[in-house]
Amino acid sequence: MFFCGALSGADLSGYPSGIALEGEITGTESQASSSGLDNNVPKVEFSFINCFKLDEEAVLQQLSYEKLIFSGEEMPLYFTHRTTGTSMAFPLVQSPHSPPFFRFRVCAVAVFDCKPTSGTIGVFTKVNCQFKSRLGSYYDSPYQHDYFSVYQNGSYLLLLDCVVPLRKDNATPTEVDYDYVNVQFHMSSSKFKLKEWGIRLWEEYCSSVENRLGNTNTSPQICEADEDNVGNPLIS
């Protein structure tokens, strides 16, 4: 895990486009995705609490990560689906070749205002996706569980990459042709207040061709949401 501190710089030029971050490195964790996706890019965990000079947008646009935490009170504009509730739903783009995984990034704005009893306090998060087709087929994905810890009161941005399987082991092609997805996000600790959370989809799941291909402000791998679909509860 990486922390801000005395280190003058950390060279991450091996990542797409290359970035340089300042911080103190207290340990590292590098792992390949169990799904076989992005096996050539290390998955790392970062903590950038109180890194006030950090260019958050540069990190979000270029860094491949498993978990990441910032100090912050407002969700970055990078996350274009957002809600103050616990779930949001939107349509999936139709493709003749259904991908085996649904990939997206999550950001939660969480406020901690209770004195820690043992130096740090943690919160468990879980993300779940419910997929549904117009023909009635339905799939409830396994929960993705993560853990974040902080050591002082404040507002934090909790970020994670999610890779969700789109099918059961023995599913037929007609059973994985989903039209909608409902994404749910929960936090386990009563000491953290969820202010807002949002996601950003990988481009193969976007419903807007303009946002996937024509928007120069969009990352090559991650796409922006249709404005009309942000937080639209399509699944009951």
pTM to 2 decimal places: 0.70
pLDDT of amino acid 186: 94
pLDDT of amino acid 3: 53
Write a three-state SS string for the chain.
CEECCCCCCEECCCCCCCCEECCEECCCCCECCCCCCCCCCCEEEEEECCCCCCCHHHHHHHCCEEEEEEECCCCCCCCCEEECCCEEEEECCCCCCCCCEEEEEEEEEEEECCCCCCCCEEEEEEEEEEEECCCCCEEECCCEEEEEEECCCEEEEEEEEEEEECCCCCCCHHHCCCCEEEEEEEECCCCEEEEEEEEEEEHHHCCCHHHHHHCCCCCCCEECCCHHHCCCCCCC
pLDDT of amino acid 116: 60
Q: What is the pLDDT confidence band of residue 97, given thresholds at 50, 70 and 90?
A: low
